[in-house]
Amino acid sequence: MAEKTIYLAGPDVFLPDAVAIGRRKQQLCRDYGFEGLFPLDKDEETEADATKIFRANCDLMRRASIGMFNLTPFRGPSADVGTAFEVAFMFAAGKPLFGYASVTTDYYDRVAATFGPITRRDGQPFDQNDCAVEDFNLYDNLMIARAIEDSGGVLVRVDENDSRGPSLAALKAFQAGLEVARSQLR
Amino acid sequence: MAEKTIYLAGPDVFLPDAVAIGRRKQQLCRDYGFEGLFPLDKDEETEADATKIFRANCDLMRRASIGMFNLTPFRGPSADVGTAFEVAFMFAAGKPLFGYASVTTDYYDRVAATFGPITRRDGQPFDQNDCAVEDFNLYDNLMIARAIEDSGGVLVRVDENDSRGPSLAALKAFQAGLEVARSQLR
């Protein structure tokens, strides 16, 4: 198998030990025959400039041949919006996409767990704020879940907790995702 | 000005009166010389199938020459992840993107309002869950905010409330966005 480059997207860049987690994920990529590109791999100097970070991330995504997206919920029941953006950016480029998360629930159940019971009206489910809740037995918003499947990839979920709750690094699911990616892209 | 088509993205599709809001926005588009494409403009029959909805939305985005994104916070301090996905999908296609929202705060302040005080460590801001908070004076995650600016568009914010809190339809900001789009794309 020729070496393939994986863009490592996810909210783990916001963890205090983000750089160490990135290194660990890059090592795991090597173990599976991939090269991992992590968004924090850049000059410290560029960290403080939103435009430079944006362009550096877009460049990394253009360089990568595969996208690996940490979709563990971040600041709400859904994935990080920056990660959702990156799913579409790489989907539009026609690259295979893999998702992973440290929770195994569906979006519907996480909305109920976060905001309270979901009620049905004319068969349609609504949250406590009277907004419809997607009920497709999918991990997250259908645009994200379907893009991954349409790209030929899969979304892997493995429960893993730390002191915060669901592990935002999601290393077990990440490794399971690498396993699937290797077998699919062999 | 030749008629241009606008894809109308946003979490307002989840409101109980989503179809009426879509019609209202399409009328406003016509008032400004645009044609508005609204995601719920499809057969009722397709509503229940995630794959069909995904593909129909992607087709509408490919047909549209402009993206108009309702980035009003949805189920958390950030924009709806489906909408974030669509920002990137149209950004990748090189189309001009406009954002609008019914809140005027920055992301940083909404994280503090939602999850409690932000603390600084070595100059870096962390939320109550010990995750770094982007502090770039931007409306939302930098990937979204910067993509809109990079595309040549702008993000318009106009405070507007209803019984839910910030109006999820964000009609005032939408109209202000149309105004800007018309003057920029003339």
Give the minimum alpha-carbon distance from A31 to chain B in angstroms, rounded to a whole number: 28
pLDDT for B19: 95
Domains in chain A, ordered, with CATH? Answer: 4-104+140-185 (3.40.50.450)
- pLDDT value at residue B50: 94
CA distance A39 to A80: 15
Summarised one tens digit per residue, pLDDT across range A18-53 is 999 999 999 999 999 999 999 976 555 445 689 999
Q: Point out the residue among B91, B127, B141 whose CB comes nearest to the CB of A81.
A: B141
User: CB–CB of B39/B56 below 8 Å?
Assistant: yes
Q: Poorest-confidence range of A82-96, A143-157, B27-41, B140-154?
A: B27-41
* pLDDT reported for residue B186: 75
What average pLDDT score do residues A131-148 get? 97
| Closest-CA distance of chain B to residue A175, Å | 23
Q: Which pLDDT does position A46 carry in this prediction?
A: 47
Whole-number average pLDDT of chain B: 94
Q: With 0-12 CB in 10 A as exposed, 13-18 as middle and 19+ as buried, what is B125?
A: middle
Angstroms from A182 CA to nearest CA on chain B: 26
DSSP-assigned letter for residue B166: E
Of B16, B54, B85, the CB nearest to A130: B16
What burial class does residue B159 get, using C-beta atoms within 10 Å of its C-beta: 0-12 exposed, 13-18 middle, 19+ buried? Answer: middle
Structure token digits, residue B156: 């318009």
pLDDT at A52: 93
Q: What is the pLDDT of residue A1?
A: 43
Query: Is residue B40 classed as helix, strand or coil in its secondary structure?
Result: coil
Contact A54 B92 (CB under 8 A): no
Taking residues A63-72, report their average pLDDT.
Answer: 98
* Interchain pair B80, A141: CB under 8 A: yes
pLDDT at residue number B164: 84
ipTM: 0.96
* Residues forming beta bridges with residue A119, ordered by sequence position: A126
Task: Tell me the helices (H) and strands (E) count for chain B, helix number first.
Answer: 6, 9
Query: What is the pLDDT at residue B159?
Result: 98
Q: What are B31-61's pLDDT values in tens digits?
A: 999 999 999 765 554 456 899 999 999 999 9
**Cβ proximity of B33 and B3 under 8 Å:** yes
Label residue B78 by pLDDT band (50, 70, 90).
very high
Average pLDDT over residues A56-68: 97
pLDDT for position B44: 53
pLDDT in tens, B86-138: 999 999 999 999 999 999 999 999 999 999 999 999 899 999 999 999 999 99
Q: Which percentage of chain A shows pLDDT scores above 90?
A: 89
Angle at B17 between CA B11 and CA B18, to 5 degrees: 40
The per-residue pLDDT for B1 is 43
- pLDDT at residue B42, as a whole number: 56
- Beta strands A97-101 and A124-126 are unpaired
Q: Does A147 sit within 8 Å of B50, measured CB to CB? A: no
So what's the pLDDT on residue B72? 98
Quote the pLDDT of residue A47: 56
